[in-house]
Amino acid sequence: MRNILAGNGFVYNPGEHVLGTTTPFYAFLLSAIGVFSGGAAAPFPQIALLVNTAADGLTCILLLHLGRKLGSAIGGLGAALVWAIAPFSVTFAIGGLETSVYVLLLTALVAAYLEVRYITAALLAALAILTRPDALILVGPLAFDRFLEVTRLGDRLGLQARPGSRPGRDKLIAEIMVFSIPLFLWISFATGYFGSPLPHSISAKSVAYLLPPDAAFIRLLQHYSVPFMGSQLLGTWWIGVGMLLFPFLFVVGAIQALKNQAHSWPYLAYPWLYFVTFALANPLIFRWYLTPPLPAYILTILIGADRLLYVLLKRKGASSPPVDDEASRGVRTTAYQIGAAIIVVVVPLLLISQEWVIHPDHGLQQPAPNMAWYQLELLYRRAANSLSPEFKGMSELPVLAAGDVGVLGYYTQARILDTVGLNSPQSTRYYPLDASYYAINYAIPPELILDQQPDYIVILEVYGRKGLLPDPRFQAAYVLREKIPTDIYGSDGMLVFERRRD
């Protein structure tokens, strides 16, 4: 964003036209706000926090609305309150990622679609794809459902057409244009400016990390087993319970939702399509990858819990003597309302609140989720503060190599050699790397550093333990400038190297 507003273009390093981001819409959104709040010197971390907070608030309102739409107002209320404090929403709002805006766009897209506001839905679908391309996992099924309506095939499948769902040719063309134009403009610009509309970060991540073939599947399975993070309070045995309980409640909730809105099936299928897509692709599952399917998953589970409670209380009343006076009906209604409030609202909030701490042990000075851990970013900030004064006196900005580039790039403003390759295409030539170089799931190729000869290197020790650091050529070319104590990822410190000048 800073380079855009400084006139350097849509680049990470000035002069290098590399599409490293998968979220152009979020970048343009923050840049647009930055125009009115300081230009290139705008406080982007604070802007991102405000934008993300507003986005999460709107998502909560939409979840409440969707709960009513899908047949459970109390389920919508529970989902909205849970999402307001869920670590998977709060953490990445604090961290400045696009996740909050992305989840809002997906949720708003479904709400608009179910309200038969197709022009609005088409625009939201395009913006969601421009925020993260995996939005296609939801947009694709919604487009298919729309196709069924328009072609009348839906009637044969039991998807009865809704009022206003079968537009004339002009309105249908308008829907297609509203969806297509933003994507066409971006694809045209990205192809001309970067050479391709496909983010380089996607291909880079696919070769840089060393993972078992079932790593993503296992991580997702664990995640879907604890949507309310109950294992924090109840122990790891709860993961096994959740593996059965929550999919069962989801099915109950999905049946109820479909009875109220047959065209909600793409939203109900989305969490499972997301699971399958990422399990098969098997990328390194960063925590923010786990967030998008959660609102639909949590909402449907709570709708299911509400429905199951209602059915159980109804059956219990049916087995009692057949008294049907107003007082007995009132007792049954009151019992259901109290039970629903406890099971659908209070219990999920109690479980998920266990992830919060009043006084975090680093960084934040106010209550926050345990997941809102950014000690690594603080260490990179410390390294950046150590290097920045020296950089300011240089006539030409040095090249700084790192495997985690966000904080270092923002605070040093050096030219960054991204050793993973997200923003530096030259790095991907050195992957895949022999497995013997990996101490964890990522390692820096020694030849990358020796060939590119960056002026400075900032890495966790574990990234170079088996390859770069023991290499005598590296030891001859670089001197350790600083070692910042840390054991993150099992690392023996964060290391700051400087290339020898003699």
All residue ranges of the chain with pLDDT < 50 are: 318-325, 327-328
In angstroms, the Cα distances linking 450 to 266, 457, 475 are 50, 12, 10
Distance CA 345, CA 327 (A): 26
Query: Residue 95: phi, psi to the nearest 5?
Result: -75, -10
- Residue 320 is predicted with a pLDDT of 43
Contact 99, 92 (CB under 8 A): yes
Taking only the tens place, the pLDDT of each residue in 191-203 is 999 999 999 888 8
Beta pairing, strands 478-484 & 356-357: unpaired
User: Would you kindly state where each structural domain of the chain is located, as residue ranges?
Assistant: 2-357, 375-499
Distance CA 5, CA 193 (A): 17
Beta pairing, strands 415-418 & 399-402: parallel
Report helix, strand or coil for 459: strand
Contact 347, 313 (CB under 8 A): no
- DSSP-derived secondary structure for 310-374: HHHHHHHHHTS-----HHHHHHHHHHHHHHHIIIIIIHHHHHHHTTEESS-SSS-SS-EETT---
Contact 292, 273 (CB under 8 A): no
Contact 51, 101 (CB under 8 A): yes
Residue found by looking up tokens 């209380």 in the block: 313
Q: Cis omega (within 30 of 0) on the bond before 432?
A: yes
In the predicted model, what is the mean pLDDT of the chain? 91
- Residue 151 is predicted with a pLDDT of 81
